[in-house]
């Protein structure tokens, strides 16, 4: 009985578990219409790796890929809400980031009625915002870093449930529609890195719930918007937007601000904006805003301030009033008109903090006795030659004038043809002044926002291949988030040709979000703007293409400086944050005039002249000696010939051509023998006479006199037992005797020394 009860209990337990599992499986299923919608969405996006054989809502890795450290920008997550009253699951969020999807924004999103969040950041999507989206209940919409284009459609005003809308880094253009002002629930609005134009619509003042507003790198016109109604703003970014100053007084109402970034305003001078009540500020950037006057005392009350950038303004006076800002990690007061002494507290600041005071007018007497990597004082002092000032350079005085300079920016020493480019391998920094060998150096200002200062990288490496004779120059480049200056000193005054070498080696040329970056910066030479809104990729016609920009420059005071400056334009998040700003591969400088000879060059020149003169004299002497020897030999031959002709010879004188023809050019086949005096050849004259030719050897002991005596003696003898002498030849250093040829080899008994008969 007990056993039967136990079996019955087990049976009921199995039934209950199976039923519960069945219910759970059913409750985690998507409705068929939502599954069909996902299939359409995948087709429109170009997403091919969704596996519809698996349940999108059970958390499997195909529909919800775990995050990986080696792919921090990648996200592949679909989130379902399975707590709906109808007992079914519904798609609530879709996050597809960093996947290079190359389709369009899917209109089928409207078929997911419970969808609230989408994030398609860092893909390759094109087109515009579909009209079907106007009927959705989206709250979170991020489509940044794609290829979306055209104006923002007016029907976007119907998406009133939106709290977050990010359109950053796309190709949107035209004026902002007033309908955006209907999105009254917006808390985060990001419009940066597009090409929006026109004035800021006053209707957007209705967005009173805004916490974050970014509109940098656009082409707006007119005055800055009125900030009065955005009292909840905590982050406001307006860099390189095209707006005119001044910063309106209504900015004082933004008391919740913790981060304010405004830069590169057009228009005239203005006073420091009223920020007195912003005591919670942590990051303050008012760069290139044409601000005049002194730093107001209320800045010292911003006790939470960690980053302060007031560079490229017209501020004056001293800087002692910011001493109380002990939390400052980075201070940029570059390119103002600050005067007076550099405060002692600043010179003794902990090396963890960076301070840039370059391009100012401080008292030179207050300069620190040593140079520091985190305190940039390049051209910081008043009067005289700006570059030559400073103890760092005064320790390396110019010894002689220079007429050329070649720098491989960010790379090692490289030789291209006959030109050697010097290495520039210093890692640079947020406020760093570097000098090399005393005759050139660099000044680096700024750090990449949203990145830890110590993790900033100011060098770019090429990950592809650039071909050509100068390819080595484009393997590395120097990168800067704000301002990078290269200076040359000890130059001879005069006209030079300056060549700046560029190549876009960070962005890629493929169907990827990594190809969507836009690098835009300005170039100043001798403080004069030469290139405005310069875009390497656009001018070169693509990435990984070498580009040279040449300039005629005039060097005065023996110095030259070239400044590359970021002015708020371009993208800041492609391929990742910290890759924007000026990028330069190499710098070449060559004089357009012939350098005068130096004392060393003059000495070397004299040595070279002496060597050349000596070589010429030696050559002349050698030639004269050869000519003399030849003349002497010829004279001897002529004398001998005259002497022979003076004898009463009964023989003839043959030419060398006759003898050569008779012996077939002294053919070895005609050789009869050889003795100590030389060789004997058989020959036939033109008239058929057979002869024997005795050729006097250079090794023979028989000299010219003996030769003449032999001819004189033999010519007068006539006897049947003596061989007859026909004549001789004295030409071309040859001494030849022509005898009668004796048959049966008797001639050898006559002519050779060992004859016994």
Q: Which residues fall in the annotated binding site for ATP?
A: 694
Please give the annotated binding residues, written as ranges: 694
Q: Which residue carries 């997550």 as its tokens?
A: 77
The DSSP bridge partners found for residue 44 are none
d(C-alpha 324, C-alpha 201), whole Å? 40
Cis preceding linkage at 575, omega within 30: yes
Q: Distances in Å between the alpha carbon of 316 and those of 2, 302, 313, 550?
A: 99, 20, 9, 36
In sequence order, which ranges of 327-371 are alpha helices (DSSP H)?
344-347
Q: What number of residues does the chain have?
A: 757
Strand order of the β-sheet with 560-565 is 431-436, 440-445, 483-488, 560-565, 521-525, 528-534
**CA dist 107 → 111, 494, 571 (Å):** 8, 65, 27
465 CA to centre of own chain: 12
Beta bridge partners of 682: 692
Output b/e per residue, 409-426; b: 16+ Cβ within 10 A. Answer: bbbeebebeeeebbebeb
Distance of CA 445 to the CA centre of its chain: 19
* 427, two tokens: 């890692």
For the beta sheet containing 414-416, the strands, ordered from the edge strand earlier in sequence to the opposite edge, are 414-416, 419-424, 404-409, 586-591, 494-502, 547-555
Query: Nearest 5°: phi and psi at 614?
Result: -60, -40
CA 491 – CA 560 distance, rounded (Å): 8
Q: Which residues pair with 78 in a beta bridge?
A: 94
Residue 299 tokens read as 């800045």
Using a 10 angstrom Cβ sphere, with 0-12 exposed, 13-18 middle and 19 or more buried, the burial of residue 653 is: middle
Total H helices, total E strands in the chain: 9, 44
């Amino acid at each position: 009985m007990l056993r039967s009860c136990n079996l019955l209990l087990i049976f009921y337990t199995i039934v209950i578990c199976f039923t519960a599992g069945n219910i759970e499986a059913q409750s985690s299923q998507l409705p068929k219409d939502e599954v069909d919608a996902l299939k359409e969405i995948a087709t429109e996006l170009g997403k091919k790796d969704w596996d519809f054989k698996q349940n999108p809502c059970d958390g499997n890795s195909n529909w919800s890929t775990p995050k990986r450290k080696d792919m921090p920008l990648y996200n592949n997550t679909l989130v379902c809400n399975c707590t709906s009253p109808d007992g079914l699951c519904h798609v609530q969020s879709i996050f597809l980031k960093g996947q290079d999807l190359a389709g369009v924004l899917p209109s089928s999103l409207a078929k997911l009625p419970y969808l609230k969040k989408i994030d398609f950041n860092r893909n390759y999507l094109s087109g515009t915002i579909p009209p079907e989206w106007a009927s959705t209940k989206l709250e979170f919409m991020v489509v940044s870093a794609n290829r979306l284009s055209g104006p923002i459609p007016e029907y976007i005003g119907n998406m009133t449930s939106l709290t977050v809308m990010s359109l950053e880094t796309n190709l949107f253009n035209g004026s902002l529609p007033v309908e955006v002002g209907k999105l009254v629930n917006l808390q985060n609005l990001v419009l940066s890195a597009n090409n929006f134009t026109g004035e800021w619509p006053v209707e957007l003042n209705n967005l009173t719930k805004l916490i974050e507003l970014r509109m940098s790198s656009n082409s707006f016109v007119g005055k800055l918007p009125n900030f009065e109604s955005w009292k909840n703003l905590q982050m406001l970014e307006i860099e390189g937007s095209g707006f005119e100053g001044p910063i309106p007084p209504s900015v004082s109402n933004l008391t919740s601000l913790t981060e304010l970034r405004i830069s590169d305003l057009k228009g005239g001078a203005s006073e420091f904006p009223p920020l007195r009540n912003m005591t919670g500020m942590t990051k303050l950037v008012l760069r290139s805003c044409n601000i005049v006057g002194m730093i107001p005392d209320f800045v010292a009350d911003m006790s939470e301030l960690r980053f302060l950038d007031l560079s490229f303004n017209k501020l004056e006076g001293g800087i002692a009033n910011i001493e109380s800002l002990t939390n400052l990690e980075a201070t940029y007061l570059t390119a103002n008109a600050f005067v007076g002494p550099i405060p002692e507290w600043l010179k003794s600041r902990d090396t963890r903090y960076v301070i840039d005071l370059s391009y100012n007018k401080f008292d030179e007497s207050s300069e620190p006795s040593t140079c520091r990597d985190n305190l940039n004082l390049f051209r910081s002092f008043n009067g005289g030659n700006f570059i030559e000032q400073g103890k760092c350079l005064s320790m390396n005085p110019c010894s002689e004038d220079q007429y050329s300079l070649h720098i491989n920016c960010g790379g090692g020493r490289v030789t291209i043809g006959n030109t050697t480019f010097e290495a520039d391998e210093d890692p640079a920094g947020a406020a760093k002044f570097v000098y090399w060998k005393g005759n050139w150096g660099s000044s680096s200002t700024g750090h990449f926002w949203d990145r830890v200062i110590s993790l900033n990288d100011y060098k770019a490496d090429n990950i592809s291949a650039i071909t050509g004779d100068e390819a080595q120059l484009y393997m590395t480049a120097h990168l800067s988030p704000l301002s990078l200056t290269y200076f040359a000193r000890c130059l001879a005054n005069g006209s030079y040709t300056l060549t700046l070498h560029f190549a876009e080696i960070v962005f890629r040329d493929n169907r990827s979000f990594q190809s969507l970056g836009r690098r835009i910066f300005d170039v100043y030479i001798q403080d004069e703007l030469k290139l405005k809104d310069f875009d390497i990729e656009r001018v070169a016609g693509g990435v990984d293409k070498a580009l040279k920009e040449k300039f005629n420059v005039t060097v005065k005071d023996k110095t030259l400086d070239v400044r590359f400056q970021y002015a708020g334009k371009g993208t800041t998040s492609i391929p990742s944050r910290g890759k924007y700003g000026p990028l330069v591969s190499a710098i070449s400088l060559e004089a357009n005039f012939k350098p005068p000879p130096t004392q060393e060059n003059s000495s070397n020149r004299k040595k070279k002249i002496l060597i050349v003169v000596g070589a010429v004299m030696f050559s002349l002497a050698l030639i004269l000696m050869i000519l003399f020897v030849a003349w002497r030999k010829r004279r001897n031959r002529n004398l001998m010939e005259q002497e022979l002709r003076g004898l009463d010879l009964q023989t003839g004188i043959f030419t060398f051509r006759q003898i050569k023809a008779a012996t077939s050019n002294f053919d070895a086949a005609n050789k009869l023998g050889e003795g100590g005096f030389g060789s004997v050849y058989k020959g036939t004259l033109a008239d058929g006479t057979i002869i024997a030719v005795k050729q006097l050897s250079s090794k023979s002991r028989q000299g010219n006199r003996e030769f003449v005596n032999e001819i004189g003696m033999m010519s007068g003898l006539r006897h049947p037992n003596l061989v007859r002498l026909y004549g001789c030849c004295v030409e071309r250093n040859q001494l030849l005797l022509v005898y009668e040829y004796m048959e049966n080899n008797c001639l050898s008994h006559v002519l050779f020394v060992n004859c016994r008969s």
